[in-house]
Amino acid sequence: MSLTTSATGIIDVPSPYLVPETLARLEAVLKEKGLAIFARVDHSGEAAKVGMQMRPTQLLIFGSPRAGTPLMIASPTLAIDLPLKALAWEDERGQVWLSYNSPEYLQQRHAIPADLMKNIAGIGALVQLAVK
């Protein structure tokens, strides 16, 4: 499965599922691994409520206070990017993508100590499980 990493640190992984199913699958993987689901934001659904059209776009906010707190203690500005997020969205061709911030990008952006990177390094594997 191919990945696209943009210059902004975002990794885009293609999904064979519709946006809601992609996030439902990710949510199931996260729960199985003991991670907390903090919120699901349906951007396109909210747009529809105000009479605007938007391709399907939903955001899942998740994580583990046990894993994330030491990171934020070491690098307080990381709190702007934690909890972790995954965005399921449909492009103009109808391809669904599951996007997330690269842990390496977050490390560089917030000067996360290398010994704490293991706390967020697994996001890619979880995303891959959701789209297989």
Query: What pLDDT, in 10s, does the model give residues 90-123?
Result: 999 999 999 999 999 999 999 999 999 999 999 9
User: What domains appear along the chain, each with residue ranges and CATH number?
Assistant: 4-131 (3.30.310.70)
Please state the pTM of the whole predicted model.
Answer: 0.92
Rg (the chain; Cα; Å):
15
Residue 92 burial (CB < 10 Å; 0-12/13-18/19+)?
exposed
3 pLDDT more than 90: no
CA distances from 13 to 26, 73, 105, 131 (A): 12, 30, 16, 8
Give tens-digit pLDDT for 18-38: 999 999 999 999 999 999 999
By residue count, the chain amounts to 132
Whether omega for the bond prior to residue 113 falls within 30 degrees of 0, making it cis, is no
